[in-house]
Amino acid sequence: MKRILIIGRSGAGKTTFAGKLGKVLNRDVIHLDNIFWKPGWVRAFTSDEWQKKINDLTEKEEWILDGNYHNTLAMRLQRADTVIFFDFNPFRTLVNACMRKHLPPKESGDTVERLHSEVGFFKLVKSIFKFPTRKVREQIEKTAGKDVFVIKNRREAEQTLQKLAMNPE
């Protein structure tokens, strides 16, 4: 368990889980949103630059990557040895994302900024309900030889975290 990929809908708890897992494994976590976006949700990379950045990140020996970015998912899946897929109900993730609006920015990241604009809120809702679950599952299934954890709710997330903490290999 050296290269861990965490993916799933916005609001599922990927970032929180990744942070906890990083502490348990004593490993840095790379949050792709923090790299891809400049303040104000402005893209930091062109498509080609992003592909190169992901290539560079995934060539490292150990990593925990948190984030979706479907255009680089195949590359990240190929290089990961462990995949943690948050397959939560979209209504639950929408509620979770909206609840982050009430958290201090330190805890919620830039989601607060995104939720404060009406346009941003509707983009978030659209991204949650249009998340390509079937396509992601198919891509995961094509990458044999990986440990795959499909997490459907917070209880399963905690159980998976405990399991990985007890057996980090």
Total Cβ atoms within 10 A of residue 109: 15
Say how many residues make up the chain: 169
Any residues with CB less than 8 A from the CB of 166 and at least 6 apart, and which? none
Is 16 inside any structural domain?
Answer: yes
pTM, entire model: 0.86
Number of domains the chain contains:
1
CA distance 43 to 119: 17
Fill in the amino acid letter for 102: H
pLDDT computed for residue 9 by the predictor: 92
Give SS3 for 101.
helix
pLDDT computed for residue 144 by the predictor: 72
Query: Which CATH number characterizes residue 7's domain?
Result: 3.40.50.300
Is 159 inside any structural domain?
Answer: yes
Is 63 inside any structural domain?
Answer: yes
pLDDT, tens digit, 9 for 90 and up, residues 25-34: 999 999 998 8
CA distance 115 to 92: 16
Is 128 inside any structural domain?
Answer: no
Range of the domain at 31: 3-88+133-166
SS3 track for 33-70: HHHHEECCCEECCCHHHHHHHHHHHHCCCCEEEECCCH
Is 143 inside any structural domain?
Answer: yes
Looking at the DSSP assignment, which residues form a beta bridge with residue 7? Answer: 85
The answer to whether 30 and 91 are in contact (CB under 8 A) is no
Is 93 inside any structural domain?
Answer: no
Is 25 inside any structural domain?
Answer: yes
Give start and end residues of each alpha helix (H) in 26-168. Answer: 32-36, 47-58, 73-79, 90-99, 105-108, 111-116, 118-129, 133-142, 154-166
pLDDT, tens digit, 9 for 90 and up, residues 107-162: 344 444 544 455 567 888 888 899 999 999 999 998 877 899 999 999 999 999 99
Is 61 inside any structural domain?
Answer: yes
pLDDT, tens digit, 9 for 90 and up, residues 64-80: 999 989 899 999 999 99
pLDDT computed for residue 146 by the predictor: 86
